[in-house]
Chains A and B, each alone.
Chain A
Amino acid sequence: NAGVTQTPKFRVLKTGQSMTLLCAQDMNHEYMYWYRQDPGMGLRLIHYSVGEGTTAKGEVPDGYNVSRLKKQNFLLGLESAAPSQTSVYFCASSWFPETYEQYFGPGTRLTVT
């Protein structure tokens, strides 16, 4: 039982390049989330999904796209990376969230130069 895994762990991009971050969970959770963490700002929600085939915008969705083609995977895409997207990205998953906590992946550190 690996929990929540993220690929890659580190990445450096040049401005304008694109990339996809992969999140996978093996707990059969319905809900999945992508956050970014910046110093002094806590975690901010980018996008989330309440089930396979569904996605919704969070607090800071601009510049990102997501897909949830399979229940266990949640992909975060950057179409044209900008330096402002330099951050640590965390994926999380949860069962129906009424009383259930989120389980977090180890994070992806992205630098855009």
Chain B
Amino acid sequence: AQSVTQLDSHVSVSEGTPVLLRCNYSSSYSPSLFWYVQHPNKGLQLLLKYTSAATLVKGINGFEAEFKKSETSFHLTKPSAHMSDAAEYFCVVRRNTGNQFYFGTGTSLTVIP
């Protein structure tokens, strides 16, 4: 079975403070993992991806994520939130045999000025 759980549906942070968006996955196989961002009324944009190379992955706009196999987690972090980071974030998993991507239910990030 393959699933992904985003542990928080809403996260609110103050501008300039760290961001942590949590994602856990379940997979019988070594997966590929992705974080996408969706700004209001827009399509999805890739932030970063993990594909069995380095476990700490750096993405665009200062985001990064760490793959922890022992914890089956792929949490997204950013040291300092910016107002433009306010958006919906999706954790996505793909088993390395197969054609389907599985989406979490999303985390809405609010950044307070």
Cβ-neighbour of B43 out of A50, A97, A107 (below 8 A): A107
Which residue on A lies nearest to B53, using beta carbons? A99
A48: chain B residues within 8 A (beta carbon): 99-100
Cβ-neighbour of A101 out of B9, B42, B49, B105 (below 8 A): B49
Inter-chain contact B96/A42, CB cutoff 8 Å = no
Judge whether B34 is part of the interface by a CB distance below 8 angstroms. yes
The contact string, 1 if C-beta is below 8 Å from chain A, for chain B 96-113, is: 100111011110000000
Chain B positions 50-75 with a Cβ under 8 Å from a chain A Cβ: 51
Across chains A and B, which 4 residue pairs bring their CB atoms closest together, nearest first?
A42-B103, A99-B51, A104-B43, A104-B44
Give Cα A56 to B103, complex, Å: 18
Give Cα A102 to B46, complex, Å: 8
Chain A positions 67-113 with a Cβ under 8 Å from a chain B Cβ: 90, 92, 97-99, 101-107
Give me the interface of A with B, judged by CB distance under 8 Å: 4, 31, 33, 35, 40-45, 48, 50, 56, 58, 90, 92, 97-99, 101-107
Chain B proximity of A10: nearest CB distance (Å) = 11
Inter-chain contact B34/A101, CB cutoff 8 Å = yes
Inter-chain contact B43/A31, CB cutoff 8 Å = no
Which residue on B lies nearest to A9, using beta carbons? B41
A42: chain B residues within 8 A (beta carbon): 90, 103-106
Tell me whether chain B's interface is mostly helix, strand or loop, or mixed.
loop
Cβ-neighbour of B105 out of A31, A41, A104, A106 (below 8 A): A41
Judge whether B82 is part of the interface by a CB distance below 8 angstroms. no
B78: chain A residues within 8 A (beta carbon): none
- Told that A40-B9, A90-B43, A106-B43 touch, could you supply 15 new A-B pairs with CB distance under 8 A? A31-B99, A40-B105, A42-B103, A42-B104, A45-B100, A45-B101, A90-B44, A97-B101, A98-B51, A98-B96, A101-B34, A101-B46, A102-B44, A102-B46, A104-B44
Inter-chain contact B101/A102, CB cutoff 8 Å = yes
The contact string, 1 if C-beta is below 8 Å from chain A, for chain B 66-93, is: 0000000000000000000000001000
A44: chain B residues within 8 A (beta carbon): 103
Inter-chain contact A97/B99, CB cutoff 8 Å = yes
